[in-house]
Structures are given as C-alpha cells and as structure tokens.
C-alpha cells in the first residue's frame, strides 16, 4: 500500500478478499463508489469495523446509481442484498451485491440470487404472482393482463417439472442452465 492511507485495516481488506471475488484494489474502488453515493453520510475512514455494518445508504439514494437506476429490478435487488430486507445498504451489503454481480462470480451463486430477486414473497418458490411481478418488471408493465397470464402459464408449463404450479429453486436452476445469456445479463461492471 506504500504511503497511501487506506480506508480499511489490513485485516478488513483480507477478510473482504476472502469472501468476495475481488482484489484489494477492486474493493477500494467499490468503496469509493459507495462513498460517492452519499459522501456526507459515509466517512473516509472505515477502520472501526462497526461502521461497515451500521452506516447505511438509504434505498432511495441507491436507486439513483447509474449501475441500478435503469434496472427494472432495482428496488428488489436492493431489498435482497440489504441484510434487513429494507433496501438500505451498509458497505458490506453493497460489496456483496457487487461481488455477486461481478463477472468472476460463478453461475451457481448468480442463480441463487436471481431466484431470490424473483421470489417476491420470499416463500422459496416462484409462484404465479412472483412470475407475474417478474414479467411486469421485465416488460415495464407493457403487457396486458391476458398477455401476462399467457406467458406465465407457458413458463409454468415448460419449467414446472413436478406439476405443483410453481417453480422450486431446482426447477429454476434447470431453466437457467439452458440459458446462454444468463451470465451476460446478470452482472454489473465496476
């Protein structure tokens, strides 16, 4: 690190490297991005470990980030990655989000989080209402109710292997495994 003052202790940086797909330099770049969102709220020095978990950026500020603002699942992504589900994120939540959306994250981890994002009611299944909300987000509410119902019915017909009218994680994973575009679309560049 030379003479450069770091925002984190060596131990913090090592821990972040161990639990993300990032180098030390990338972690610091992500922190810089985090701090740019709300510079008055986020201190430069995060060496007091409690700050990385307690100082949060509100979801309404996170939704303005260029990396998220055009994403139809912006609010839902923030909810899934915030530890308390509110959408407000501390640095560690933010770092986790960028790690999962990084190009280095494996497909199986991305699949777990995609499932959580689409599981709006949090019951560990993608039911008709979850699929309807997902489709409405993807199409930005441009489909009629009849079109949404038709597409949801086709998705369930195609992917529901146990005929329970909803998709389990295993069924979802099976669909994703056949999607060549999934990895190309489920990422954010830093």
Q: How high is the pLDDT of residue 189?
A: 79
Where are the chain's structural domains? 10-100, 107-182
CATH topology of domain 10-100: Recoverin; domain 1 (1.10.238)
The pLDDT of residue 3 is above 50: no
Q: How high is the pLDDT of residue 167?
A: 98
Q: How high is the pLDDT of residue 120?
A: 98
The overall average pLDDT reported for the chain is 94
| pLDDT 10s digits, 12-32 | 999 999 999 999 999 999 999
| pLDDT 10s digits, 139-185 | 999 999 999 999 999 999 999 999 999 999 999 999 998 888 887 88
What mean pLDDT do residues 41-63 have? 93
What mean pLDDT do residues 63-87 have? 96
Question: What is the CATH code for 107-182?
Answer: 1.10.238.10
SS (H, E, C) the chain: CCCCCCCCCHHHHHHHHHCCCCCHHHHHHHHHHHHHHCCCCCCCCCCCCCHHHHCEECHHHHCCCCCCCCCCCHHHHHHHHCCCCCCCEEHHHHHHHHHHCCCCCCHHHHHHHHHHHHCCCCCCCECHHHHHHHHHHHHCCCCCHHHHHHHHHHHHHHHCCCCCCCECHHHHHHHHHCCCCHHHHCCCCC
Q: How high is the pLDDT of residue 4?
A: 58
């Amino acid at each position: 690190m030379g003479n450069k003052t770091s925002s984190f202790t060596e131990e913090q940086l090592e821990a972040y490297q161990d639990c993300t797909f990032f180098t030390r330099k990338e972690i610091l770049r992500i922190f810089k991005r985090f701090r740019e969102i709300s510079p008055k709220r986020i201190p430069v020095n995060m060496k007091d470990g409690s700050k990385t978990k307690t100082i949060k950026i509100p979801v309404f500020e996170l939704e303005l980030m260029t990396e998220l603002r055009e994403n139809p699942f912006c609010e839902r992504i923030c909810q899934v990655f915030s530890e308390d589900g509110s959408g407000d994120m501390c640095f560690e939540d933010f770092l986790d989000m960028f790690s999962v959306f990084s190009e280095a994250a494996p497909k199986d981890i991305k699949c777990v989080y995609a499932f959580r994002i689409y599981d709006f009611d949090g019951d560990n299944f993608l039911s008709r209402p979850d699929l309807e909300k997902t489709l409405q987000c993807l199409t930005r509410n441009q489909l009629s109710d009849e079109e949404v119902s038709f597409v949801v019915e086709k998705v369930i017909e195609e992917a529901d292997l146990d005929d329970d009218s909803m998709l389990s994680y295993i069924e979802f994973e099976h669909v994703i495994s056949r999607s060549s575009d999934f990895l190309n679309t489920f990422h954010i560049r830093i």
